[in-house]
Structure 1
Amino acid sequence: MKLVRYGAVGAEKPGLVDGDGTLRDLSGHVADIAGKVLDPASLTALARLDPKALPAVSGKPRLGPCVAGTGKFICIGLNYADHAAESGLQVPPEPVVFMKASSAIVGPDDDVLIPRGSLKTDWEVELAVVIGKTAKYVTEAEALDHVAGYCVAHDVSERAFQTERSGQWTKGKSCDTFGPTGPWLVTKDEVKDPQDLKMWLKVNGETMQNGSTRTMVYGVAFLVSYLSQFMSLHPGDIISTGTPPGVGMGMKPPRYLKAGDVVELGIEGLGSQRQTFRADA
């Protein structure tokens, strides 16, 4: 299934995209795409519904973040060997873990705000994993049983805030609108192999990133298991698993985003996003 949330900011409704690409309203069956709705049993019940029997949504409404109620937005750094190389850094012996504020989450096509004082706002297309069932001390073999599905995430980053102002990476990752997710949550049964998905990103029509999850150092199952040793993962939590090469910071000379730039990005089978970058007021 492709589960979506559509409508005005703060008033999104649950829906799904059927096999013909038609947006269907799910609000007669669930309150939102969040919490217990993400549990495997609940997703199985939704999968039994006849999409053609659900009301079609007219027009082209805004798509919101594909999951609501995210408590933790966990990110993995330097998780692609080729991206670590372009950053001039070694592949870490264990995953680099940092947090992105949940207040950064926006819809897949919402504008992204370049924060005050920013000179180094950068792009990163990433595969995101959405937790469906609480995971605590799970093994790698059990890990995917706790995953609801996958989505595209844009880990927008302010590199000066991230690396030049001391402290942790979080403050360069958590600015408002720095976490577009969606367009939809694709349930894991529709993703044959999360470690073999093509991914891409363009700035103003120019391809910057053209990679694959095949070059991921630490795979999805490992990451879910690994993180669950340190914290409980709850339904709706998002794990953003790192980016392939081609970020602005790695270019010679570096290249960063400015107001008016348009970024498009996507992952095979998971849809695409499009954002216009604007200066924050």
Structure 2
Amino acid sequence: MPTVTTPNTGIEIFYEDHGDPAHETILLVMGLGAQLTLWPDELVEALTGEGFRVIRYDNRDIGLSQKMEGARAPSLPIQLLRKKIGFPAKVPYTLTDMAHDGIGLLDALGIGQAHVVGASMGGMIVQLMAVHHPDRLMSMTSIMSTTGNGKLPQAEKHAMEALIAPLKSMDEESLVAHGLNIAKNIGSPGFPFDPEQQREKVLRNVRRSVYPAGLPRQLAAIIDDGCRRSRLANVRTPTLVLHGEADPLVKLEAGEDTARHISGARLVTIPGWGHDIPPELVGRVAEEIVVHARQG
């Protein structure tokens, strides 16, 4: 099983390594409560087919990476209240810690520099890689993500409720139903939803790993990090921002805000795209990443 312990944070990270090790590396960083398998295999194949080495990994507290057993996240209402009045709650770890994990993975694999690509929370993580480790990044792509500014439009209620809904049961069918409900509520309205295809994907992920305790800790890290606008103003890493015009979870304005606060960032928006990577968009997303990486 391909795992490494990061030399900087001491966290055991599970990863997959695709393509020729001699080629430039693209590091894929996934989002809240999401395993590395949410990066479509077809996207990985498209990127390696264009001559890149592609590494995707499970963030801490999800999938097959190290779990922060026993760590307690503050309750969501208490954390939001304390944040509002200027008294941040204590969190088990931060988004910056998670950014250090990704850089630590590169260290462990002997990779000096990489193109980093993050989706949703993963976009926040790669933004922080650019803030804290600019010398390690050849380019950055922030997908369906945000600066974290609290004045931006919030997620549609149905999308957020589906994402953070408590599990009713740990039996397989209940877990699959839960995953399908998330996929329906955050997915892309401009592209067809195939229930059987989605069920197969969710089932594979359920059988790979289920760890509900990690999600509230990762969510706490997101809330704790707050607004990154001032930090992003100093980023000089060549940046591409990809965002769906129909994203119900992280609204389009969040992607626009991200591009606006990173010097020289290029924004690409796609009609009908929600908070997933539907098969119909894999080619387009891969093309945008490749063109940006080569320019970067």
**TM-score under structure 2 length normalisation:** 0.25
The structure showing larger relative contact order (alpha-carbon pairs under 8 Å, at least 6 residues apart) is 1
Q: Which has the higher helix share?
A: 2
**TM-score under structure 1 length normalisation:** 0.26
Q: Which has the higher strand share?
A: 1
